Amino acid sequence: MWEKTHIFNIMPAIQRSEFALALNQVATERGIDLEVVLDTVKNAILAAYRKDHPGVESEEYSVTLDPNTGEAKVFLKEEDVTPPGFGRIAAQTAKQVILQKIREKEKEAILSDYRLKVGTIVNGMVLRFAGPNIIVDIGKTEGIMPPQEQIPNEKYHLNQRLAVYLSEIKEGLKGEEIVVSRASNGLLEGLFKREVPEVAQGSVEIKEIVREPGARAKVAVYSSQPGIDPVGSCVGQKGVRVQAIIQEFSGLEKIDIIQWQENIKNYITASLSPAKNLKVEVNEKEKTARVTVPEEELSLTIGKDGQNVRLASKLTEYRIEIEGQGGDVSEEPKEEMSEVSKEKKEEEKTSKVKKTKVTKASKKKSSKKPEKKPKAEKKQKKV
Q: How many CA atoms lie within 13 A of 3 on its CB side?
A: 5
The 10 Å Cβ neighbour count of residue 313 is 22
Q: Which residues contact 182 (CB under 8 A, 6 or more apart)?
A: 145, 149, 150, 151, 154, 162, 164, 165, 213
Do the beta carbons of residue 80 and residue 74 sit within 8 Å? yes
Instruction: Name the 3-class secondary structure at 227.
Output: coil
High-pLDDT (> 90) share of the chain, %: 52
Query: Which residues partner with 263 through β-bridges?
Result: none
296, pLDDT greater than 70: yes
The top-scoring range by mean pLDDT among 36-50, 90-104, 308-322 is 308-322
Do the beta carbons of residue 125 and residue 158 sit within 8 Å? no
Cα→Cα distances 74→40, 182, 316, Å:
15, 55, 72
Give the single-character DSSP code of 33.
-
pLDDT at 346: 53
pLDDT at 360: 47
Give the single-character DSSP code of 242.
H
Does residue 170 or residue 343 have the better pLDDT?
A: 170
Give the single-character DSSP code of 239.
G
- CA torsion sign, 26 to 28 to 32 to 33? positive
Please write the tens of the pLDDT for every residue from 274-295. 998 899 999 999 999 999 999 8
- DSSP code per residue over 119-177: TSEEEEEEEEEETTEEEEE-SSSEEEE-GGGS-TT----TT-EEEEEEEEEEEETTEEE
pLDDT at 109: 85
Q: Which amino acid is at 46?
A: L
* Rounded CA separation 370/188 (Å): 82
Please write the tens of the pLDDT for every residue from 340-371. 334 444 555 555 444 444 444 444 444 444 44
pLDDT at 325: 58
Least confident range from 41-45, 187-191, 217-221: namely 41-45
* Rounded CA separation 311/302 (Å): 10
Q: Which residues contact 221 (CB under 8 A, 6 or more apart)?
A: 199, 204, 205, 206, 207, 230, 231, 233, 234, 257, 258, 259, 260
3-state helix, strand, coil in the chain (%, to 5): 50, 25, 30
Closest CA to 77 of 90, 58, 93: 58
pLDDT-derived band at 160 (thresholds 50, 70, 90) equals: very high
Q: What is the mean pLDDT of the chain?
A: 81
* Rounded CA separation 361/316 (Å): 60
Does residue 58 or residue 134 have the better pLDDT?
A: 134
**Mean pLDDT across the stretch 245-260?**
95
pLDDT at 270: 96
pLDDT-derived band at 174 (thresholds 50, 70, 90) equals: confident
**Mean pLDDT across the stretch 33-47?**
80
Does residue 342 or residue 226 have the better pLDDT?
A: 226
pLDDT at 208: 97
pLDDT at 60: 75
Query: Which residues partner with 96 through β-bridges?
Result: none
**Mean pLDDT across the stretch 42-71?**
78
The 10 Å Cβ neighbour count of residue 276 is 12
pLDDT at 5: 38
Q: In sequence order, what E strands does the chain have?
A: 61-65, 72-76, 79-80, 121-130, 133-137, 142-145, 161-172, 175-181, 205-212, 216-222, 254-259, 279-283, 288-292, 319-324, 327-329
High-pLDDT (> 70) share of the chain, %: 78
Closest CA to 254 of 221, 288, 215: 215
pLDDT at 329: 54
**Mean pLDDT across the stretch 32-50?**
80
Could you give the domains of the chain? 5-115 (3.30.1480.10), 121-183 (2.40.50.140)
Do the beta carbons of residue 44 and residue 97 sit within 8 Å? yes
Alpha-carbon dihedral angle through residues 202, 205, 208, 213, given to the nearest 10 degrees: -60
* Rounded CA separation 266/275 (Å): 13
